[in-house]
Structure 1
Amino acid sequence: MTKELKDDYSIDDPVIDIAKLFDPTKRKKLRKEIEKPLTSFDPLHPISEEALESFQKWMSDDQGSTIDIDYMHIDKKWFQSLSNHGSWLADTHIDVAFFFFRKRRIENPHLFSQKFTTVDTMFWPLYSVKWPDVDIVYVPINVRASHWVLGVVHLHRRIIYVYDSLMGINNNARLQVAIKPLAKLLPHILNAIAYYGFHGDTKVNYQEWEIERLQDIPQQENDGDCGMFVIKYAEYLMHNHPLKSLTSARMDWFREKMAAELFYMKYLPM
């Protein structure tokens, strides 16, 4: 699948002609184009044909089995699991995506209205944010080693919202078992570091947080897509983007896009 599925969603992005770099009479205009604010988040921005062709060629080549990005070394087997239809995503796939989301917010804070961060499955402190600068934390949660869900932790509301792409299979009791430890531990951690004191609330509260499972959200239709849904849930939500275009039919395209961009650009663009 090399083309996005059509929808009523569209966006006009400025395009910079590289040829202008070699035309002195057009450099001034080019500088103005470069200085324009970065474009808003567009989850359906087409995959670069150059990136896709380069990725596909590398995957079919016997040479060069590993590449290096900021977060880790990645081999072809890792990319194969990411890009193949219905393949289960490992914790490292989600960790890589969440790492680049953290990095995106730190390097482009003006693009976000939310004060958020993400954590990976091992809680590594790469591109970490100070607690006083965070209102929302996006947490990937593995349920019984068989299913990924997204936890959206609202620190001021003291609640954990759960985004589950397979609600017909997982019952609330099963999710509660997986998430309750976090709901119990967070009040103690935040009180220990005086998080609420930074925001003018000196009242100590160790009460277990509420867990709410969100209804009427996009659902997966294929086995193995829960990890990609967690990645896209988080990305859409942190940009305050409607979930309408996040569909099961687009999962293969999202997989291919993420794989090609990681390989070619060594990061995840907006």
Structure 2
Amino acid sequence: MDGMSSYHKRNSGLNPCKNSSFSHSSRAMAPGIYRYPEVKSPLRRQVHAPSRILKSGRDRSTRQGSGNVLGTFLTRNDDMLKRNALDLPLRYRTDREVVDVGDELGDVEMISDDTSREGLGNVAMEVDEVEEKAEMGNGLFSEVVSMKNGSLRVDECSQDNSSSLVVNRPVTDVTSFEAYRKVLQSAENRTSKLKDRGFGDILKERGCALLRSLFSFSFWKQDKEPVEDVQREAFLTLSREEETAVNRAFSANDSNILVAHENSNIEITGKILRCLKPGEWLNDEVINLYLVLLKEREAREPKKFLKCHFFNTFFFTKLFNSGTGYNYSAVRRWTSMKRLGYHLKDCDKIFIPIHMNIHWTLAVINIKDRKFQYLDSFKGREPKILDALARYFVDEVRDKSEVDLDVSRWGQEFVQDLPMQRNGFDCGMFMVKYIDFYSRGLDLCFTQEQMPYFRDRTAKEILQLKAE
């Protein structure tokens, strides 16, 4: 206890407060804290906000209760505590780091939180010397780095990067011209650095991309149209004139040739077209002609549709017969380069219509996703069909490209997430719309309720010899 008192006497000059309560609290503090040099606030800090001036010319702090001794005592003690608080010394932070700055500013060792308190006094003096040298150095500039606890902090470093010292010191007067100049110079330095690093061009490009996403002007149009536009085209409504033409064709004589496609040698008579009326089963001529029109649609707009091949309804019965089994030689010439102008392996998808007695289904060789798919509007499964198509594709690539293709890792998918029919006559219509939507790159986003519309639209496209 005597040793503590003698220490307090030696350091009494550091503490201007003579109040006994403060002296008692100072004894409880760690002794190492008084090895920091004395720092006094340049201005008296105001603890409380100004009190409202009363009409009598006195504020609340000087107002005394009339005849109240207790009120006078409390007011006097309040004034004394305010004066003591204004004179409290500022304490140093111990969480700063001082980095070695080289020969110009002297050798300073690293200080961290785990530094022993025995040498903090000497190190603090070295910090003051370094700060004074940094202030006197030529070409120093300041950069505002953070706003922490309401205090504006400035990083000071050499402009020529010859010093690695970073001194965090608060700017007490943020309204001064010097503080404003430092903030303005920091902003100019940051702007010039961003320009040198090319951030200006990046920001311009991002701005243009944002504008392109907000506005759909014609000169900003991408090579591929948005998915929403492609999906909307899959449900274009018929005009009144087109509906009239379809109804007139449904009423034509059985033998009347309504339209003939020269390249495929397919003729559509009144009787054949009437398979598209509600409640009728689709026949081979209508399905095959529609698939030819889908291929011509792809040739007109190759960037808009996937690259596909559409086999007709007779292909699979030639390739695989229930009596003779698998027979590649029966369809080998169907896909010659001279006949198609391309190899099947270069396509994204290959569509194969499957007719099973009185039911239409679809098989797909999905080269893009490396899998064999089977789509049945009744969600049936036929593994032997996909096995036969896997064997066919291997033989086809070997025959046309002389490459041994390994499809052992390709998947077999019996698609379950697909529109289902709820009657006994729309299976053919579901099959051709599976092909239509897949060739557009769309999901199967239609339902049974749209089948009457699809029947009329297919009839219109056949009569115009143009799929849309």
TM over 0.5, shorter chain: yes
Cα distance in structure 2, aligned partners of 1:227 and 1:157: 25
Aligned mate of 1:187, from 382, 385, 394: 394
The alpha carbon displacement at 1:62 in A equals: 4.9
C-alpha contact (below 8 Å) 1:187/1:208 kept by paired residues:
no
Q: Which 4+ runs in 1 deviate beyond 6 A?
A: 124-127
2:267 aligned residue:
73
Q: Does 1:176 align with 2:176?
A: no
Q: Does 1:134 align with 2:347?
A: yes
Cα distance in structure 2, aligned partners of 1:232 and 1:223: 17
Distance change >3 Å, CA 54–CA 204, structure 1 → 2: closer
Q: Does 1:159 align with 2:371?
A: yes
Cα distance in structure 1, aligned partners of 2:246 and 2:397: 43
Secondary structure in structure 1 of the residue aligned to 2:312: coil
Secondary structure in structure 2 of the residue aligned to 1:97: helix
AA paired with 2:397? L
The alpha carbon displacement at 1:242 in A equals: 2.9
Q: Does 1:212 align with 2:212?
A: no
Secondary structure in structure 1 of the residue aligned to 2:230: coil
Secondary structure in structure 1 of the residue aligned to 2:355: strand
Cα distance in structure 2, aligned partners of 1:240 and 1:155: 13
AA paired with 1:121? T
The alignment-based identity, stated in percent, is 24
Taking the TM superposition and a 5 Å limit, the aligned residue runs for 1:34-113 are 40=230, 42-62=233-253, 65-70=256-261, 71=264, 72-82=266-276, 84-112=277-305
Cα distance in structure 1, aligned partners of 2:461 and 2:339: 20
Distance change >3 Å, CA 60–CA 157, structure 1 → 2: closer
AA paired with 1:40? V
Cα distance in structure 2, aligned partners of 1:57 and 1:119: 31
Cα distance in structure 2, aligned partners of 1:52 and 1:161: 35
Distance change >3 Å, CA 256–CA 95, structure 1 → 2: same
Which deviates the most, 223-232 or 91-100? 91-100
1:231 aligned residue:
432
Cα distance in structure 2, aligned partners of 1:61 and 1:136: 37
The alpha carbon displacement at 1:129 in A equals: 4.7
Distance change >3 Å, CA 208–CA 122, structure 1 → 2: farther
Q: Does 1:257 align with 2:457?
A: yes
Distance change >3 Å, CA 208–CA 226, structure 1 → 2: farther
The alpha carbon displacement at 1:243 in A equals: 2.0
Secondary structure in structure 1 of the residue aligned to 2:462: helix
Distance change >3 Å, CA 133–CA 180, structure 1 → 2: closer
2:444 aligned residue:
243
Distance change >3 Å, CA 75–CA 108, structure 1 → 2: same
Distance change >3 Å, CA 219–CA 158, structure 1 → 2: same
AA paired with 2:353? P
- Cα RMSD over matched residues? 3.0
Structure 1 gap ranges (5+): 1-31, 198-202
Cα distance in structure 2, aligned partners of 1:238 and 1:106: 12
Secondary structure in structure 2 of the residue aligned to 1:162: strand
C-alpha contact (below 8 Å) 2:254/2:271 kept by paired residues:
no
Distance change >3 Å, CA 87–CA 60, structure 1 → 2: closer
Q: Does 1:120 align with 2:292?
A: no
Which deviates the most, 254-263 or 225-234? 254-263
C-alpha contact (below 8 Å) 1:66/1:75 kept by paired residues:
yes
AA paired with 2:310? T
C-alpha contact (below 8 Å) 1:187/1:207 kept by paired residues:
no
C-alpha contact (below 8 Å) 1:99/1:127 kept by paired residues:
no
Cα distance in structure 2, aligned partners of 1:62 and 1:115: 38
Give the count of matched residue pairs.
219
Structure 2 gap ranges (5+): 1-218, 316-333
The alpha carbon displacement at 1:66 in A equals: 1.1
Cα distance in structure 2, aligned partners of 1:161 and 1:119: 15
- Cα deviation digits, residues 10-62 of structure 1 (max 9, x gap): xxxxxxxxxxxxxxxxxxxxxx9xxxx99635121001221221232243355
The alpha carbon displacement at 1:135 in A equals: 2.6
Q: Which structure's relative contact order is higher, taking Cα pairs within 8 Å and 6+ residues apart?
A: 1
Distance change >3 Å, CA 147–CA 129, structure 1 → 2: farther
TM-score by length of 1: 0.70
Cα distance in structure 2, aligned partners of 1:204 and 1:179: 16
Distance change >3 Å, CA 154–CA 243, structure 1 → 2: closer
Secondary structure in structure 1 of the residue aligned to 2:241: helix
- Cα deviation digits, residues 126-174 of structure 1 (max 9, x gap): 983511531311221123x22111112123655211111112xx3x3xx
